[in-house]
Chain A
Amino acid sequence: MAHRVSTPRSAILTGLTVIAILMFVVATLMALFYAPTDPQGMVQRIFYMHLGAFMGGSLAFLIAAIASILYLVKRNFKWDMMALAAIEVGLVLTGFTIVSGAIWARPIWNTWWTWDPRLTSAAVMWLAYAAYLMLRNGFEDPDRRARFAAVYGILAFSSVLFTTFITRVRPDTIHPVVVGPSPQNAQGSFEVNSSAMRLTLIFNILTYIVAAITLIWYRYRLERFTRQVQALKMQVLSR
């Protein structure tokens, strides 16, 4: 049986990869050199990547939730692979958000971490999706694994929405809100007041969104090939 396991990268993916890399370079250079220095000093420049990665990660989790619903409805393993790919990428990006936030907080808040509602909700989000990967490891049968993972993917997303919502309505957060009015108690607020800062921010967010989509695509391809190899192995063994 002639099976083509690997398919050549499509032109769109190649194009997307080039765009993502170029954007990433430009976005990083903009954050480091183009944007004016804030009164907080150089450390404020982290903010562009911090928010960008968060937006990319959130998008990845949204994609995972939609893919999970689609898997339960259609029972096509395509959606299971998509959800897995999106969650892994989301974990990396939100992980970066948390770490970059901690680096910023050390000089500004004088601590790496604090049990602030926003930080707590981010940590819970990360843990819920790490648990998703644990869940996948717990089940052998591929059908059951995909089904349970999809159920958990939906549940995790709803609880993340809830945690986010609950912690956001609390007024006692010290986390600054840069876009929109900052909470009263916010410490280390700064303003995105120049057009150069605004442009850098928007470009960074766009970059991380494109990067997230590109990474999910690659991870999806890898997962598909892995499963095709497994299927071929099974075919050979059961012959």
Chain B
Amino acid sequence: MIEIKGLVKAFGYMPVLRGLDLQVERGSFLALLGPNGSGKTTLMRILTALSKPTAGTVLIGGWSLPAEAAAVRAQLGVVAHQPLLYDDLTAAENLHFYGQLYGLPRPLRQGRVAEVLARVGLGARADDLVRTFSRGMQQRLAIARAILHRPHVLFFDEPYTGLDQDAAAMLDALLRDVARDGHTIVMTSHDLARAHALSSHMAILSRGKIGFHGLSSDIRPDSLPALYAEVTGAASVR
């Protein structure tokens, strides 16, 4: 589903990604790990067509970036560590607005908005302003926004940032649920155990390259911190 070959991204003279190769199969759930500064955010921005690569090829669903960005964008859903929602609009209004941007016609939109809201457990709060929502509820609504237009590929960029225990557990359940729909999912995270539990594949970024890429089922949960430390060269793991 996602094919990256020789991806290079430099900011001015500062190379962040240095010839990165990565394949993500259709329907798989890839957890992307790596310390701050390893290029995770930059990689996500390139994959979501927000940033242009300096060199290399990126194919998503057969469409290449940045040349066919518009076609790629239509098949992406993104949940970032910021909720990307409007405080002064209600949950339903937020979803309707994004539905319009993704070209969902009104009759289809009505049904979809109700459907995804119920799915993330916010059906009863549809007409409440987003500013009255807790952080966890905002993040669930962000997921509703991301799956609204039935994207092929979902990106979760540190979705657990700022969530408490209960909200995080709820998000776990929701992500598993969404993953069963057959989306291809890429998630970045600092939480090794959680990433391991959710994902089907894991990749570890180190200094702008993929340092490790394998099946999650091949890694024992207790050996993961050691593996992570070895790949990233970090002395300690959070």
A residues near B (Cβ < 8 Å) are 77, 141-143, 227, 230-231, 234-235, 238
Contacts and interface: CB of A to CB of B under 8 A. Distances in A.
Contacts of A231: 12-13
Interface in B5-61: 11-15
Contacts of A227: 13
Q: Is the interface of A mostly helix, strand, loop or mixed?
A: helix
Nearest to A237: B14
Nearest to B16: A238
A141 B12 CA distance: 7
Interface of B: 11-15
Contacts of B12: 77, 141-143, 231
B110 to A, nearest CB: 40
B237 to A, nearest CB: 22
Given A77-B12, A231-B13, A235-B13, 9 more contacts: A141-B11, A141-B12, A142-B12, A142-B13, A143-B11, A143-B12, A231-B12, A234-B13, A238-B15
Nearest to B14: A234
Contacts of B13: 142, 227, 230-231, 234-235
Q: Which of B11, B12, B14 has the most CB of A within 10 A?
A: B12
A152 B68 CA distance: 28
A136 B15 CA distance: 22
B8 to A, nearest CB: 14
A143 B42 CA distance: 14
A5 to B, nearest CB: 13
Nearest to B208: A238
17 contacts: A77-B12, A141-B11, A141-B12, A142-B11, A142-B12, A142-B13, A143-B11, A143-B12, A227-B13, A230-B13, A231-B12, A231-B13, A234-B13, A234-B14, A235-B13, A238-B14, A238-B15
Contacts of A238: 14-15
A142 B14 CA distance: 10
A143 B15 CA distance: 12
Nearest 8 CB-CB pairings of A with B: A142-B12, A231-B13, A234-B13, A234-B14, A143-B11, A141-B11, A143-B12, A230-B13
A234 B13 CA distance: 7
B88 to A, nearest CB: 28
Nearest to B12: A142
Q: Which of B11, B13, B15 has the most CB of A within 10 A?
A: B13
A139 to B, nearest CB: 11
B65 to A, nearest CB: 16
Contacts of A143: 11-12
Nearest to A227: B13
A231 B12 CA distance: 8
Contacts of A230: 13
Nearest to B15: A238
